[in-house]
């Protein structure tokens, strides 16, 4: 009876979890999209003190505006050769018009074990459009926004053996304003510095603000239900951080109903997707106004999150450098907290974060020790099993004593026949007399289920485990076992555990259901990430071994 309840508890918890996941996926896939408004239609909060008015900001769509742009619509439509910068980690494409980051390839992250081409984050394809734009805006003078034409950079730059690489671009106005936009790359870093050095060569004071924005379409996600397609569960949308409200996020479908309009100092703004993201990281002491918009007039709606800094003022002949940073890369959990406050929150484990975060920390520590994520998962399983050893021991001792009671339970069944009420009452009296808790097998399973779900989220959300190989045929722990070896082993372990477990009072139909359980679980686990099945299989084998040893000790075999 305890083992029956244990299996049913596992099945119920997993089925409920998976049904919830499937409902979330289907709901997102079939939800009717809300029509996107025209730029500027969303309500805005009052601007921060001395911040530019909304009318002073350039729209994402190219429009002639002498106050903010030095180009014409015709110029904006003419494609220009891209400036390509390659470091040890990134291949970046820069559009000379505005100095916009229009391409970003993550050289250390292949698309899949079968496709060695690098993951592409920024790109100009209208269907998957995703760019990072920045510029200056001024209400009373010329300023280069993200449509202004910059010159001066060579078409190709390589970090080579150097530690740092600077790529300067220059924009100038005939009246005397000169802006040098410099990109700063560093070996081993996904952070790119972007500085605007402004020189006021006029006879009047110049006043302007720097702004930064991320603009993208909603990514195309395969909504085919699969436990090994984590993109259908992962958050995709905008996110930001403030010291007061901490980490917040906004899905694309909520951009219209819940537009962001807030003044923040010491924060950052980002666009998140599965495993990777980009985030503008302004200076910590700089106040910024954060807003979101939905942009129409394209093949697909584009979603924008923007930061606008308070203005700076330059006297005639003065110069000032406005420093910025942008992170373009993977959600590396050890690196992000050192890049900016709260940046580690982009790794989102959902409601099981309080378990998943320490679980990942332990896994990562064991990985550094063992050099393989699969062995780290096995080690975690052993440690968890050891932590709950006494609890499991009590369960298995109870099972062993029940096994020894089988002849007496059979006699009770023969005495009471089909009178199940009297049969159950007699069984409970016998359990009480022999000090056996028939529900003792439930608690160890209940403890394991949260760990199981937390490990599932670690596997599908941690870029460190993305495509991590194990041994032999398992080339990716975040994907299913290609030959179903682990699911079969798990089914065999369950079958063996059933053979060692007493089943008092079970009718023929229940016996058939229990006999099918190992097959049902083997089929279900065939579609789970291999790392998760590895954990559950090792856990089952260790439990089987512990159960067998205890049965031997109490003489119940």
As given in the structure block, the two tokens for residue 319 are 């110069």
Residue 3 pLDDT greater than 70, yes or no: no
DSSP 8-state symbol, 352: G
CB atoms inside a 10 Å sphere around CB 87: 22
What are phi and psi for residue 207, nearest 5 degrees? Answer: -135, 125
Please report, for the chain, how many H helices and E strands are present, in that order: 12, 19
Top-ranked range on mean pLDDT: pick from 138-147, 213-222, 544-553: 138-147
Looking at 59-63, 207-211, 368-372, which range is the least confident one? 59-63
The number of residues making up the chain comes to 557
Residue 239 pLDDT greater than 50, yes or no: yes
Residue 148 pLDDT greater than 70, yes or no: yes
Average pLDDT across the chain, whole number: 82
The predicted structure's pLDDT at residue 185: 98
DSSP 8-state symbol, 8: H
- Judge contact between 498 and 428, C-beta under 8 A: no
The predicted structure's pLDDT at residue 66: 34
DSSP 8-state symbol, 544: H
- Positive or negative CA dihedral for 241, 245, 251, 257? negative
The predicted structure's pLDDT at residue 232: 63
Q: Residue 305: which of 348, 347, 254 has the closest Cα? A: 254
| Cα(341)–Cα(346) distance, integer angstroms | 11
Q: How far is CA 78 from the centre of its chain?
A: 37
The predicted structure's pLDDT at residue 406: 73
What are phi and psi for residue 487, nearest 5 degrees? Answer: -60, -40
| Cα(459)–Cα(454) distance, integer angstroms | 9
The predicted structure's pLDDT at residue 438: 62
Looking at 52-56, 91-95, 97-101, 322-326, which range is the least confident one? 52-56
Residues 243-284 have pLDDT tens digits of 999 999 999 999 999 999 999 999 999 999 999 999 999 999
Residue 326 pLDDT greater than 80, yes or no: yes
- Residue 213: which H helix or E strand, with range? strand 206-217
* Domain residue extents for the chain: 55-220+234-348, 356-553
Q: Residue 94: which of 106, 108, 81 has the closest Cα? A: 81
The predicted structure's pLDDT at residue 424: 80
The predicted structure's pLDDT at residue 26: 37
The predicted structure's pLDDT at residue 43: 34
> In which band, very low, low, confident or very high, does the pLDDT at 14 lie, cut at 50, 70 and 90?
low
The predicted structure's pLDDT at residue 75: 42
Looking at 59-63, 106-110, 312-316, which range is the least confident one? 59-63
With H, G, I as helix, E, B as strand and everything else as coil, classify residue 517: helix
Top-ranked range on mean pLDDT: pick from 2-6, 415-419, 424-428: 424-428
pTM of the predicted structure, to 2 decimals: 0.81
Looking at 14-18, 40-44, 342-346, which range is the least confident one? 40-44
Residue 129 pLDDT greater than 50, yes or no: yes
> In which band, very low, low, confident or very high, does the pLDDT at 21 lie, cut at 50, 70 and 90?
very low
CB atoms inside a 10 Å sphere around CB 279: 27
Strands 156-158 and 83-86 turn out to be parallel
Q: What's the Cα-to-Cα distance from 159 to each of 85, 89, 186, 234, rounded to whole Å?
A: 8, 10, 8, 34
Residues 451-476 have pLDDT tens digits of 888 888 898 899 999 999 999 999 99
CA trace torsion 146, 152, 156, 162 (10° rounding): -100
CATH of 55-220+234-348, one of 2.70.98.90, 3.40.190.10, 2.60.40.1180, 2.40.50.180: 2.70.98.90
The predicted structure's pLDDT at residue 207: 95
Residues 6+ apart with CB under 8 A from 103: 82, 84, 91, 92, 93, 120, 122, 123, 124
Looking at 220-234, 397-411, 429-443, which range is the least confident one? 220-234
Residues 481-499 have pLDDT tens digits of 999 999 999 999 988 888 8
| Cα(382)–Cα(370) distance, integer angstroms | 14
As given in the structure block, the two tokens for residue 399 are 């099972």
> In which band, very low, low, confident or very high, does the pLDDT at 521 lie, cut at 50, 70 and 90?
confident
Residue 56 pLDDT greater than 80, yes or no: no
- Judge contact between 211 and 308, C-beta under 8 A: yes
């Amino acid at each position: 009876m305890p083992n029956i309840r244990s299996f049913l508890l596992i099945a119920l918890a997993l089925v409920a979890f998976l049904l919830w996941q499937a409902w979330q996926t289907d709901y997102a896939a079939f939800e009717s999209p809300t029509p996107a408004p025209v730029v500027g239609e969303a309500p805005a909060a009052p601007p921060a003190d001395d911040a530019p008015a909304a009318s002073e900001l350039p729209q994402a769509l190219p429009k002639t505006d002498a106050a903010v742009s030095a180009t014409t619509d015709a110029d904006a439509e003419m494609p220009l050769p891209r400036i390509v910068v390659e470091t040890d980690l990134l291949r970046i494409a820069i559009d000379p018009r505005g100095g916009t980051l229009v391409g970003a390839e993550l050289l250390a992250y292949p698309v899949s074990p079968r496709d060695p081409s690098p993951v592409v984050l920024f790109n100009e394809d209208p269907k998957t459009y995703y760019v990072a734009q920045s510029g200056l805006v001024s209400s009373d003078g010329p300023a280069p926004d993200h449509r202004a034409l910059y010159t001066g950079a060579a078409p190709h730059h390589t970090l080579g053996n150097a530690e740092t690489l600077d790529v300067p671009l220059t924009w100038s106005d005939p009246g005397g304003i000169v802006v040098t936009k410099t990109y700063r790359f560093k070996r081993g870093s996904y952070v790119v510095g972007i500085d605007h050095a402004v020189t006021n060569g006029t006879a009047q004071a110049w006043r302007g603000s720097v702004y930064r924005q991320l603009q993208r379409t909603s990514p195309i996600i395969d909504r085919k239900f699969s436990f090994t397609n984590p993109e259908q569960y992962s958050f995709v949308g905008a996110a930001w951080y403030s010291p007061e409200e901490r980490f917040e996020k906004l899905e694309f479908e909520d951009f219209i109903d819940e537009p962001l309009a807030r003044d923040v100092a010491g924060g950052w703004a980002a666009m998140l997707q599965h495993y990777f993201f980009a985030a503008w990281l302004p200076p910590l002491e700089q106040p910024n106004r954060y807003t979101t918009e939905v942009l129409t007039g394209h093949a697909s709606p584009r979603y924008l999150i923007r930061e606008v800094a308070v203005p700076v003022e330059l006297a005639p002949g003065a110069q000032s450098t406005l420093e910025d940073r942008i992170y373009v890369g993977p959600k590396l959990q050890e690196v992000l907290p050192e890049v900016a406050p709260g940046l580690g929150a982009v790794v989102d484990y959902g409601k099981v974060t309080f378990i998943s975060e320490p679980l990942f920390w332990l896994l990562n520590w064991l990985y550094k020790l063992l050099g393989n994520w699969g062995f780290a998962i096995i080690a975690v399983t052993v440690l968890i099993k050891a932590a709950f050893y006494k609890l499991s021991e009590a369960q298995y001792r109870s099972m062993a004593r029940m096994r020894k009671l089988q002849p007496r339970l059979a006699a009770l069944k023969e005495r009471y026949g089909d009178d199940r009420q009297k049969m159950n009452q007699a069984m409970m009296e016998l359990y009480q007399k022999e000090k056996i808790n028939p529900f003792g097998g439930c608690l160890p399973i209940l403890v394991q289920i949260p760990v199981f779900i937390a490990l599932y989220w670690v596997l599908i959300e941690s870029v460190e485990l993305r495509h991590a190989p194990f041994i032999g045929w398992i080339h990716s722990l975040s994907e299913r076992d290609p030959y179903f070896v682990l699911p079969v082993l798990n089914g065999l372990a369950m079958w063996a555990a059933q053979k060692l477990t007493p089943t008092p009072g079970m009718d023929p139909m229940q016996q058939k259901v229990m006999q099918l359980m190992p097959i049902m679980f083997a089929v279900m686990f065939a579609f789970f990430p291999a790392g998760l099945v590895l954990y559950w299989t090792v856990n089952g084998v260790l439990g089987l071994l512990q159960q067998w040893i205890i049965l031997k000790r109490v003489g119940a075999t």
